[in-house]
A = this chain, B = another copy of it.
Amino acid sequence: MARPRGPGERAGLDTDQVLAAARDVLRDSGVSGLSLRAVARRLGVAPNAIYSHVGSRDELLDAVLDDVLAEVRLPFAGEVARDPLGAVRAIMLASYDVLLRHPGLMPSYLDRQGSRGVQAQQLGVVTLEALGRAGLTEPAAREAMRVLIVNTIGFAAFSARPTGSPPGVMSAVELRANFLRGLDWLLDGIAR
C-alpha cells in the first residue's frame, strides 16, 4: 500500500510486529499458509526481511505457539492451595480450549516436544507446583505432567478440524466431553 522502499531504507519493524502478522496469517490461512513469505507479504516487506527479526521458520512457529499459550488462564495461588488437582484440571481444560482455537498448530507442537517458550514454562511451573501440593514427589509430578500434556495437546489436535473442512462425525461438544473423560481418568490415577 505504501511507497516501495529502496535498499537501505527501513520499514521500522520489530519482532512483536512480525509475531502479530504471523498470528494474523495463522488465523486467516492456517498453519500450512504460515510461511515467512506470507508474513513478509502482509507486512509489505521483502521475504528475507523477516530474518532480521527471527532466525528461521521453526523459530517463528515456536514464538507464535508460545504467544498462543499466553491466553491460558492460570489459577490463583488460593485455588491451587484449596484444590490442587482441581487446579491442574482447570489448567488442562483451559489449554485444550485455547489450543482448539488454533487448529493445525499442535502437530508441530508435539513434534518439538512442547514449546520451550516462557509461557509454556510458566504453565509447567504452576502445574508442577500443584501436583506437588497434591502429594507427588518431583519426579512423579514430572511424569504425571507429561502424560497430562500429551493427552491435552493430542486431543486438541485430534479435535481440531482443519479450517474450512466438513463438520466431521463428532461434534465439538462430544469431543470436549470425550477429552474430559480421559482427563479425569488420568487425574484419578494420579491421585491414587
Q: Is A157 an interface residue (CB 8 A)?
A: yes
Cα–Cα, bound, A106→B153 (Å): 13
Contact A113 B186 (CB under 8 A): no
Contact A113 B189 (CB under 8 A): no
User: A37 CB to closest chain B CB, in angstroms?
Assistant: 18
Identical chains bound together, number = 2
Tally of contact residues, A, Cβ under 8 A: 30
Within 8 A of B (CB), among A130-175: 143, 146-147, 150-151, 153-155, 157-158, 162, 168
* Residue in B107, B185, B190, B192 whose CB lies within 8 Å of A111: B107
Interfacial residues, chain A to chain B (CB-CB below 8 A): 104, 106-108, 110-111, 113-114, 143, 146-147, 150-151, 153-155, 157-158, 162, 168, 178, 181-182, 184-186, 188-190, 192
